[in-house]
A and B are shown apart, each in its own frame.
Chain A
Amino acid sequence: QVQLQESGPGLVKPSETLSLTCSVSGVSINSYYWSWIRQPPGKGLEWIGCVYFSGSTNYSPSLKSRVTISIDTSRKQVSLRLNSVTAADTAVYFCASTTFRGGKPERFDYWGQGTLVTVSS
């Protein structure tokens, strides 16, 4: 079955760059787009963006200026970089397989367990 595992530092200082990795197993990384989604403590879900095995990306308009999502097909890993972080970026970060339709991200079929990242000095 599809398994996704997020990893990375749990604490990042304000103004620095948040970096996370999602390891994909149980499915060809070419089968889906791969998204990052975050959830601040006690709040709702926010889509950050996604990447395809070709390297093609789509980003949320609200985060586009600070986000880079990349893919390493040989390692079956998807990476997230979010720069100039503030306390508002504190959240659980999930990676998720993403079905595309009509050239747009449609839905998220499989999710990782998520990893909490706290932005604090």
Chain B
Amino acid sequence: QSVLTQPPSVSGAPGQRVTISCTGSSSNIGANFDVHWYQQLPGTAPKLLIYVNTNRPSGVPDRFSGSKSGTSASLAITGLQAEDEADYYCQSYDSSLSGSGVVFGGGTKLTVL
């Protein structure tokens, strides 16, 4: 069971908009720790997609955007393309009585119909 909760799968047709949610708690996202998103294409290593909630690294298309509010964050992808089919992971930091460290969501598989 991941500390951050993501839907196992989402899907959309080419050109559509999809969103992926990432739900945390008061010990991570709600504690004002930032959220980052990674894209993992099949058979490859994850790639940083969004950092510090809303920022895109150089080379990431502006079709990808991130937001954060309260204990949750979201990744939005507009103008869906076949090449966007991948697994997406959110990541933050968690600090609780049982310890502190980096935490990931369980991942969301995006299928482009």
> B-contacting residues of A (Cβ < 8 Å)?
35, 44-47, 58-62, 64, 94, 104-114
For B93, the chain A residues whose CB sits under 8 A away are 104-106
Does the CB pair A105–B102 fall under 8 Å?
Answer: yes
Number of A-B contacts (CB under 8 A): 63
Q: Is the CB of A44 within 8 A of B106?
A: yes
A114 to B33 CA separation, bound complex (whole angstroms): 27
B101 near A60 with CB under 8 A, answer: yes
Decide if B36 is an interface residue (CB 8 Å cutoff).
Answer: yes
Top 9 A-B pairs, shortest CB-CB distance: A61-B99, A47-B102, A111-B45, A107-B36, A45-B104, A44-B107, A44-B106, A60-B101, A107-B51
| Contact (Cβ within 8 A) A45 B89 | yes
Residue numbers of B with Cβ under 8 A of A are: 2, 33-34, 36, 38, 44-48, 51-52, 57, 89, 91, 93, 98-107
- Can you add 20 more A-B contacts, CB < 8 Å, to A106-B52, A106-B93, A108-B36? A35-B102, A44-B89, A45-B38, A45-B89, A45-B91, A45-B107, A47-B104, A61-B99, A61-B100, A94-B46, A105-B101, A106-B34, A107-B48, A107-B51, A108-B38, A108-B91, A109-B57, A111-B45, A113-B44, A113-B45
Contact status B45-A59, CB under 8 Å: no
Given A44-B89, A44-B105, A109-B57, A94-B99 contact (CB < 8 Å): no
